[in-house]
Amino acid sequence: MTRWFLLPALLALIFCMAATRQDVAVKALEQGKEKLKALDYDGAIAKFNEAIEARGGNFAEAHQQLGLAYFYSDKLTDAASEFDTAAQQDPSNASVQRYIAEVALFEPDYQKALNAYEAYLDALSPWAPERAAALRRVSKLRMMALGTYEAGLRDADVQFLSRPKPHYPENVKGNPLPAGDVIVEAIFTADGEVFEPRVIKSLGKEFDDDALKLLTGMHFTTAVKGGKPVSQKQKLKMHYQKVFG
**Would you list the DSSP string of 99-151?**
HHHHHHTTTT-HHHHHHHHHHHHHHS-TT-TTHHHHHHHHHHHHHHHTT----
Range in 90-104, 141-155, 176-190 the model is least confident about: 141-155
pLDDT at position 15 is: 46
Closest CA to 228 of 101, 74, 106: 106
Range in 38-42, 98-102, 150-154, 226-230 the model is least confident about: 150-154
Query: 158 pLDDT exceeds 90?
Result: yes
Asked if the domains at 8-90 and 93-149 fall in one CATH topology, the answer is: no
Query: 111 pLDDT exceeds 80?
Result: yes
**CATH architecture of the domain covering 159-240:** 2-Layer Sandwich (3.30)
Contact 46, 66 (CB under 8 A): no
Instruction: Return d(Cα 143, Cα 184) in angstroms, integer.
Output: 31
- The answer, as to whether pTM is greater than 0.75, is yes
Taking residues 182-193, report their average pLDDT: 95
Q: Measuring CA to CA, how many Å separate 109 from each of 72, 122, 189, 229?
A: 19, 20, 12, 10
Q: Name every residue whose Cβ is closer than 8 Å to that of residue 16 and which is 6 or more positions away in sequence.
A: none
Query: 205 pLDDT exceeds 60?
Result: yes
Instruction: Return d(Cα 102, Cα 86) in angstroms, integer.
Output: 15
pLDDT at position 153 is: 66
Top-level class of domain 93-149: mainly alpha
Phi then psi for residue 159, to 5 deg, are -115, 125
Q: Name every residue whose Cβ is closer than 8 Å to that of residue 239 and which is 6 or more positions away in sequence.
A: 166, 180, 181
Give the start-to-end residue ranges of the domains of the chain: 8-90, 93-149, 159-240
Q: What is the CATH code of the structural domain delimited by 8-90?
A: 1.25.40.10
- Cβ of 144: how many Cβ atoms within 10 Å? 21
pLDDT at position 94 is: 92
Amino acid making up residue 141 = L
Instruction: Return d(Cα 31, Cα 29) in angstroms, integer.
Output: 5
